[in-house]
Structure 1
């Protein structure tokens, strides 16, 4: 029997109910069970699979495995070829802190009460069990590298240690220089720019954060290869600034770059829905453009350079993912480690005249979600066979991989927690009641584990994905991108199906955390078969038709 690692008296363990912990999903007994008697009696599980959870920052599905024709991402593509690839995965809010708190607790922003970066869910909402905390309570050593929780107040200035992690999380020392004046202009002067290709050897500490993250992740894998682990690795790229090794720009010659297919602000887009990309404007090279607020626009040649640097940042991040995945092979771990890859949200690259995240559009809310389980999504590797050989993007740009198992149903990031727990054989999570502020352990998502390895599987219960975004006003303001809680007056609730995206902007009371669904400020409706880019808002026509037929209640339903 495998050893059971247990921190005596842990609150999260006590929250597990005996009736939840006897069988795996499907009624199969667990491979190893440890039982300790104290108040109350609880079984503790150590699953047969480790978990490697990789999180990118600001990554939309601009990857080869998502049929992107430009981006070179051979290592993630290789992972996808051995995985189930969810083509329609959506974040619950398109900004870092709220999204990460949401998927790490499997609760939506209205339940975490976090819409900005300025509160800690255990204090402001409820003492919710997190994804790593659940694995820790079930005998795993849980480890964090890089940006997993959003740092600062949103994770209690500790990345939720010691609740979620067995040891203090690792943060790369070189990250402290991320916003410093380290970007060299042509005249040799240093600036804090948006576009920041660098010679790594000239950087402070002669390295970059994601290089350090990969090295630390590999070190921990070597250390933990004989023990059950849950390792979360949060890469910082392609988040701005685009401080990356300069050689990655060579993969994307500027003469090959194109503008977004819909670079203009849609004529019928409500002001409240627009993101004025304030964080972009604060960078020195963008300030020098002397852009008007709120629409700009950014000069076309600079737009091309932003897109070039974003794509290069993705390839740089992909290389670091490849290094970590190769370590699984080198340590003979790929046959007993679940791998999940995703991002906290997407990033606009000029679509709708917008940049960055901070909206309910697909370009801001849609994320990659790739899940690998050995023996399920691909055959177990034979002795000596490599599963994740490192692919050098500069030498193997033409290498092609299969697309893996494809799932086109709507899924959400709140599904990640129950999915990974189920895949590892941990007790099933109950679905949250409404309200659930006093319930420590439950999920507002669904486990996707049963569909892994099934081609073109349809998830019957999951017809929609839900996202939301707050605004301080109906009109565009400097803080429209990221209002503090006290300033929120409007909330945009958005529903995405295979056929349409439907968004209602309604009044919001930030004191009582209440939305008034009958006080509609604006709406958006995009029919995706005719308008895949979400540029033609037909909400007003739809509303007039409903009012004419006396069916206005359908607006809320």
Structure 2
């Protein structure tokens, strides 16, 4: 049993009078760069403390490494092939079917549901309404400062503001003297306080935008990661055995002002080593910024008196490559693009978060990572699941399905990289990569695809990949193209 249906089962498995509240936290572009996932560089004390009282899924995978399709899959528990959403240009209820969403199921069962920040992908993907009137009991909240997300506020070497990838900022100097995720958490904290004492169970979904690019965070978080402590990517160039169709040319990163000035050749030119370390530094700083905000949210939950009766599910919508195999961003079927953290806190089984107080990483520069969770699940799991099982008790007692393979996919417009390879429009999809991740191996087939019928042409194999994670965690040696004896 995996994330969405498990969440519904756990919350509804007791009588109506004792139903558990639900806090769903979605973090944009979050790879497992956390202390609790064994990352020695990460300074994430609040997420580590949550993990100590949670089930930690160490091999959780998104179904497509792009925000719109991934969030639609997670929130409808249907794969991109079913939602017919591989890009950000359509609404699943119109393109594929009037499927029920996870918050809709809660709402139909007597829950008060609310959305704050980036939960559904904005725009046509959620019908310009965050899937209203189906999913939420009140109008979804979006922070006003999100309108300035790509504003030229990143100071360059010339002392002028730019739209950069690397973007530490002085919050007080921002257009609204704040940042979107700060506004979202402040709003959620007030909402939690307002729900105190009410008998009606609730589901609150909070979506944080960082560490999505631009890598914009309060500049103080850079102090946690002196540049000399940030290592370059272990495998900084494209492996010889990586098929051209599998390559993620990170086009959106290239469009940023500071990256454009580097004059990196398309599609395989490597990012200069000095700049690669700055990007990695900024990503980790943005993750620590997110950790601080999650700490504030958990403290607000405890202060409002909800800690003992609230299930918490925290995950990313997919991962993000930090220079591994020469790739940056997502847009791939690779381990770095598809793997994301997944933490599930059950107050009756994992211990209470009552009295939780956030730990400011900025005042604990020597914070030692806490690795692991109360329960550690290493079986590969997905961010989708079949409809809830009839046997609720059995499902709760056995939270991981017997199937030990997680599936992901990604579309391409051609067999060789081009400018729109990262985000092709639906009508331009010519190849689809289907990837299966077991406990040890990842196998991917890239096959021809017919966008008119929305069907893969399995007999037309373009390329394949096979990686043995027991000896090759970076997926640098493609065994499918290795010479045979």
Q: TM-score range by the shorter chain?
A: over 0.9
Structure 2 residue aligned with 1:144: 115
Structure 2 residue aligned with 1:65: 36
Question: SS where residue 312 of structure 2 aligns?
Answer: strand
Superposed, which structure 2 residues align to 1:260-271 within 5 Å? 260-271=233-244
Q: Given the alignment, which residue of 75, 84, 87 partners 2:55?
A: 84
Q: Given the alignment, which residue of 214, 217, 225 partners 2:188?
A: 217
Q: CA deviation at 1:499?
A: 1.6
**Structure 1: distance between partners of 2:153 and 2:398:** 47
Structure 2 residue aligned with 1:390: 358
Superposed, which structure 2 residues align to 1:403-414 within 5 Å? 403=372, 404-414=374-384
Q: Is the 8 A contact 2:408 2:436 kept in 1?
A: yes
**Structure 2: distance between partners of 1:270 and 1:52:** 41
Q: Is the 8 A contact 1:161 1:167 kept in 2?
A: no
Q: Does 1:175 align with 2:146?
A: yes
Superposed, which structure 2 residues align to 1:155-554 within 5 Å? 155-225=126-196, 226=198, 227-378=200-351, 380=352, 386=355, 388-396=356-364, 397-398=366-367, 401=370, 403=372, 404-415=374-385, 428=388, 449-451=396-398, 459=400, 461-541=402-482
Q: Given the alignment, which residue of 135, 143, 147 partners 2:106?
A: 135
Q: CA deviation at 1:264?
A: 1.2
Structure 2 residue aligned with 1:552: none
Structure 1 residue aligned with 2:4: none
Structure 1 residue aligned with 2:75: 104
**Structure 1: distance between partners of 2:389 and 2:466:** 34
Q: Is the 8 A contact 1:84 1:370 kept in 2?
A: yes
**Structure 1: distance between partners of 2:42 and 2:71:** 25
Structure 1 residue aligned with 2:3: none
**Structure 2: distance between partners of 1:521 and 1:471:** 11
What TM-score do the two structures reach when normalised by structure 1?
0.82
What does the per-residue CA deviation read over 1:257-278, in whole Å, with 9 as the maximum and x for residues that have no partner? 1111111100011000000000
What does the per-residue CA deviation read over 1:455-491, in whole Å, with 9 as the maximum and x for residues that have no partner? xxxx452210000000001011111101000000000
Q: Is the 8 A contact 2:38 2:369 kept in 1?
A: no
**Structure 2: distance between partners of 1:133 and 1:185:** 45
Question: SS where residue 376 of structure 1 aligns?
Answer: helix
Q: CA deviation at 1:218?
A: 0.4
**Structure 1: distance between partners of 2:318 and 2:82:** 19
What TM-score do the two structures reach when normalised by structure 2?
0.93
Structure 1 residue aligned with 2:5: none
Q: CA deviation at 1:243?
A: 1.3
Question: SS where residue 176 of structure 1 aligns?
Answer: helix
What does the per-residue CA deviation read over 1:95-136, in whole Å, with 9 as the maximum and x for residues that have no partner? 100000001000000000000000100000000000000000
**Structure 1: distance between partners of 2:383 and 2:139:** 25
Q: CA deviation at 1:528?
A: 1.6
The 3 A distance-change label for structure 1 pair 519 and 89 is: same
Superposed, which structure 2 residues align to 1:32-71 within 5 Å? 32=16, 48-71=19-42
Question: SS where residue 371 of structure 1 aligns?
Answer: strand
What does the per-residue CA deviation read over 1:203-247, in whole Å, with 9 as the maximum and x for residues that have no partner? 011000010011011011111222311000000000000111000
**Structure 1: distance between partners of 2:216 and 2:287:** 12
RMSD (Å) for aligned C-alpha atoms = 2.0
The 3 A distance-change label for structure 1 pair 194 and 71 is: same
What does the per-residue CA deviation read over 1:58-84, in whole Å, with 9 as the maximum and x for residues that have no partner? 000010000000011111111100000
Question: SS where residue 347 of structure 2 aligns?
Answer: coil
Q: CA deviation at 1:540?
A: 3.1
**Structure 2: distance between partners of 1:29 and 1:99:** 27
Q: Is the 8 A contact 1:262 1:352 kept in 2?
A: yes
The 3 A distance-change label for structure 1 pair 504 and 302 is: same
- Consecutive unaligned residues in structure 1, runs of 5 or more: 1-23, 33-45, 419-427, 432-446, 453-458, 546-557
Runs of at least 4 residues off by over 3 Å: 399-402, 428-431
What does the per-residue CA deviation read over 1:375-413, in whole Å, with 9 as the maximum and x for residues that have no partner? 1122x46xxx52x22111022342554632100001100
Question: SS where residue 206 of structure 1 aligns?
Answer: coil
Q: Is the 8 A contact 1:470 1:492 kept in 2?
A: yes
Question: SS where residue 380 of structure 2 aligns?
Answer: strand
The 3 A distance-change label for structure 1 pair 490 and 323 is: same
Structure 2 residue aligned with 1:5: none
Q: Is the 8 A contact 2:29 2:318 kept in 1?
A: yes
**Structure 1: distance between partners of 2:190 and 2:249:** 41
Structure 1 residue aligned with 2:15: 31
| Structure number with larger C-alpha Rg | 1
Q: Is the 8 A contact 2:80 2:86 kept in 1?
A: yes
**Structure 2: distance between partners of 1:137 and 1:29:** 15
The 3 A distance-change label for structure 1 pair 94 and 449 is: farther
Q: CA deviation at 1:185?
A: 2.3
Q: Is the 8 A contact 2:143 2:183 kept in 1?
A: yes
Question: SS where residue 58 of structure 2 aligns?
Answer: strand
